[in-house]
Every structure is written in structure tokens, then in C-alpha cells.
Amino acid sequence: MEHQKPNVPTVADDPKARELLRQAFEKTARWDKDFKGFTADLTVNVNGKETSGPIMVKGPREVSVQLGDADAQKWAQEQLGMIAVHRGPRSFEESDGKYALTMEEDGHPFGTKLTIHGSNSFYRLKDNRITQINRTMAHPGMTPFAFTINVEESAMTQSQKNLTTKYSVYYYAPTDGKLTNAESITDTYVRIGSADLPATRRNISYENGEVIVKHLTFTNHQLV
């Protein structure tokens, strides 16, 4: 029996919106297609408690972290997986370009509103940069949640690409809009060959009624 597609209203794609997002996408720093990964020594400090060990990152699903603390190891592995997802090589057509795109100028300080239809997402763009990401996640078997990422600061790489160095994330329930968590992330990078690799990450978050500060320090980077 042929699988029936859900009745999703079709939206006319806006070529101007597509070009705007393509330019921002192509101006975003990513690892080269021939990038094979890297190894480094990692130190994790969580509110003063330190643990260290080796790591290897080859891709979003190929992350190895060996730390003496299981909780710190799990968190560090998640962070490196996210870094690999955002920095990994991919084409515009493979990502947001596969959706219908529309735009709206509403005078927002973060720039043009650009809706990615069919992905429960909308972005804001300014000066060839994605400045805000809004997304609702709703998968079978999980509680729906939504988040807004605000890109606060970025740097220009040697390859003349935008690399985010500071951003904040607000997590909330899509049903009632109640804020459930907030994070502030600050990153620094080191240039090894043609790749910009993580040097430090500071994560300040609110979890279970208290503010937690987590700090990652990477040293002795080696390309694979």
C-alpha cells in the first residue's frame, strides 16, 4: 500500500528568501569536505570540579570522550556532537534549502524573519548572518519543546566566514510558553591547518533551581 503524505498546505517558495538564506549559509564557517576529524586533550570544569581525558571527533555520530566522571563525559560528548553537527560540511540543498522559504520584514533588531516551512522553524537574518533560530521539536514518544537561539557575537575566520563565538538559548514549553531553561555559551577557537577547532567553551545554564557553570578546555589538538 502506498504511503499517503499528510495534508500539508503548500507554500510558494520566495526566490528572494532562498537567496538571502543561501548567502548566509555559504558565509557560515564549516570544516572542509576532506576534514577527517581531530583529537585533543580535554579538561571539563563543572562548578569547580575538574576531570580530564582524551577526545576524538570524526563527525556528529563519531565522538569519543574518555573522562573519569560519567556525567561530565556524557555532557561533553553531547557538546562535541552538537559542534560537529553545526561545523560539519554539508550543502544548502541538504539542509534548509530542501524546504519552501518565505520572508518578512518586520523591523526586528535581529533582522529579516525567514520561515522554513515544514520544519517548525523560523530564522532571523542580518548582514549575511543567521542571527536567531526559533524551532519547535515534536517527535513521537517525547514531550514537545521549543527553543530560541540568539547569536550575540561572531568572529571572521581566515577563510572570511562567520564563526559564532557567543550565543544564548531559551528553552520553553510550546503549549504554554513557560520558560524551562536558559543557557549562555561562549566559544573560542584555534586554527589548525585549514580548520577552526574548539579551544574553549563556557556554558552557563539554569538547571534544577541553580545556576551551573561548565567549562571545556581543549589542548594538544591533532588533525586525524
Q: Do 97 and 76 touch, CB atoms closer than 8 A?
A: no
Mean per-residue pLDDT over the chain, rounded? 93
| Res. 162: pLDDT tops 50 | yes
Query: Which residues touch 66 (CB under 8 Å, ≥6 apart)?
Result: 53, 54, 55, 73
> Looking at the predicted structure, is the pLDDT value of residue 87 above 90?
yes
Query: What confidence category does residue 7 fall into, taking pLDDT thresholds of 50, 70 and 90?
Result: low
**What is d(CA 151, CA 190) in angstroms, rounded to the nearest whole number?**
20
**In the predicted structure, residue 18 carries a pLDDT above the cut 70:** yes
Tell me the pTM: 0.90
Q: Does residue 8 register a pLDDT over 70?
A: no
At 117-143, the pLDDT tens digits run 999 999 999 999 999 999 999 888 888
Whole-angstrom distance, CA of residue 146 vs CA of residue 134 = 8
The C-alpha cell at 74 is: 556524557
pLDDT band at 2 (very low <50, low <70, confident <90, very high): very low
The tens digit of pLDDT for each residue in 67-81 reads 999 999 999 999 999
